[in-house]
Structure 1
Amino acid sequence: MKPSIYNSYIPLDEGISFIYNAFSDKTVIFRQEMPEDKSELLSLPIESTLYTNLVDSGCIVDESVDELQNLKDAILEADNNVSSYTLIVNPTLNCNFKCWYCYESHITNSMMSDETVDALIMFTGDLIKSNNDLKDLNLSFFGGEPFIGYSKVVKKLLTRISGICSQKDVRFSTHFTTNGYLINEDRAEFLKDYDCSFQITLDGHRLQHDNTRSTKDGKGSYDQILRNIMLLTSKGMNVLVRINCTVDNIDSIQGILEDLNMIPEYCKKRISFDFQRVWQDSNKDPDGLHGREF
């Protein structure tokens, strides 16, 4: 047996340790110090609960297992899976924010034409008709800021394509990568019927976020975005909160958790987090946020 190459070892507190396996997406938490030499975990009694959990979670694997090949096989299987299809749609390349690190060239007044919208609907219909093995179709909206194109593009695509999927018994779902500012009650009420999920970005707590993500007229956006996260989750939709970390905002992030701690429990259960370092920030501090502090 051997420790998996996909393990992350994290000491949570004195006497409590955490192992996460990225391949199985499973975790093991146990009450003992994490050994410096991780191979010492192999010396645990094989009849112990901890050893069994480590094996069942993929944290310990058989010596003969080629873990790299397993990953390649999983990627190939996903690429060749004809039962699901994801269509990424950019309604516009414009945005209501101008974040300093954004790599997009925002094009004012850019918007998908009616002809392209109709062509997408026709393409999707042909795709479903020609693939009898298709079981799941996901429409993923990106940008720019996709909600700028909500009325002209998003609503029409959702209504028409979901109808086509329903006729052919294909499961339809939707995802939005959005800054979250342009969501409102009416839009959330409409979207809740389309199996929607969201990725919404925060750049630290209120002050740090507003310094980065202000509207074009200089208005802060933190409070509005936080209200919209609560609105979406209250209507049964899941939100991945992506937190963009820099040396200037990382110390403020605890404030986000304190704000979200005030919302109802059933909303909290629909929120998850993804911490990502802003890559341009590495010029300021190439080592600091890659180490123990992060």
Structure 2
Amino acid sequence: MKPSEYNFFYEFPRDSNELIAYNSRTNSLALIEKEKYSKYRNFKDKHIPIDDEELVKDLRRGQFLIDDDIDELELLRFRLLSSRFDNKSLSITIAPTMNCNFNCIYCYEKPREENIFMTEEV
């Protein structure tokens, strides 16, 4: 068992005795007591085993702790390739107008003389 490389912990709110735990690979979100967080940090930094079975179970459920043989980078590569070649969904962008609303001073695009809008039929 090892900690995920994608764990982040945030204090919120400041007067609370809890931290927000977030795993960016799995999008898991949880609250963890500061005392339990210190057990996690001791495990991560000093390799001191976590003696709280319930904590280990909860951290594993959110994949904050994972099996030693899991290669998280490989999992992310697989997810990326799977989404590229997945034909079960189609993403489209609908542009009801080609006019730009921003008018940025640094923009290199030339303003269009004609207004281009979708027809009512579409």
Of the three residues 19, 22, 33, the one matched with 2:21 is 19
What residue in structure 1 maps to residue 101 of structure 2? Answer: 96
Q: Following TM superposition, by how much is the alpha carbon of 1:10 offset from its aligned partner in structure 2, in angstroms?
A: 1.1
Report the residue type matching 1:97 in the other structure: F
Matched, 1:105 2:109: yes
Q: Following TM superposition, by how much is the alpha carbon of 1:38 offset from its aligned partner in structure 2, in angstroms?
A: 6.5
Where do 1:131-210 residues align within 5 Å? 149=117, 152-153=118-119, 156-157=121-122
Give the unaligned 5+ runs of structure 1. 112-148, 158-294
What residue in structure 1 maps to residue 44 of structure 2? Answer: 39
What residue in structure 1 maps to residue 57 of structure 2? Answer: 52
Structure number with higher helix proportion: 1
Report the residue type matching 2:29 in the other structure: T
Q: Following TM superposition, by how much is the alpha carbon of 1:70 offset from its aligned partner in structure 2, in angstroms?
A: 0.4
What residue in structure 1 maps to residue 3 of structure 2? Answer: 3
Q: Distance in 2 between matches of 1:16 and 1:104?
A: 49
Q: CA offsets per residue over residues 102-153 of structure 1, 9 Å max, x none?
A: x573633352xxxxxxxxxxxxxxxxxxxxxxxxxxxxxxxxxxxxx4xx25
Where do 1:41-80 residues align within 5 Å? 43-45=49-51, 47-48=53-54, 50-80=55-85
Higher relative contact order (CA 8 A, sep 6+): 2
Q: Distance in 1 between matches of 2:121 and 2:2?
A: 53
With structure 2 as the length reference, what TM-score do the two structures score? 0.73
Identity %: 23
Q: Is the 8 A contact 1:93 1:106 kept in 2?
A: no
Structure 1 stretch 34-43 or stretch 89-98: which is displaced more?
Answer: 34-43
Where do 1:110-129 residues align within 5 Å? 110-111=115-116
Q: In structure 1, the residue corresponding to 2:25 is in which secondary structure?
A: coil
Q: Distance in 2 between matches of 1:91 and 1:29?
A: 42
Which structure: larger Rg? Answer: 2
Q: Distance in 1 between matches of 2:90 and 2:19?
A: 39
CA RMSD of aligned residues (A): 2.9
Q: Is the 8 A contact 2:43 2:49 kept in 1?
A: no
Q: Distance in 2 between matches of 1:93 and 1:20?
A: 39
- In 2 relative to 1, CA 58–110 (structure 1 residues): closer, same or farther, beyond 3 Å? farther
Q: Is the 8 A contact 2:20 2:29 kept in 1?
A: yes
Q: Is the 8 A contact 2:18 2:34 kept in 1?
A: yes
Q: Following TM superposition, by how much is the alpha carbon of 1:57 offset from its aligned partner in structure 2, in angstroms?
A: 0.8
Report the residue type matching 2:3 in the other structure: P
Give the unaligned 5+ runs of structure 2. none
What residue in structure 2 maps to residue 133 of structure 1? Answer: none
Q: CA offsets per residue over residues 175-194 of structure 1, 9 Å max, x none?
A: xxxxxxxxxxxxxxxxxxxx
- In 2 relative to 1, CA 11–42 (structure 1 residues): closer, same or farther, beyond 3 Å? farther
Of the three residues 85, 94, 101, the one matched with 2:90 is 85
Q: Is the 8 A contact 2:21 2:29 kept in 1?
A: yes
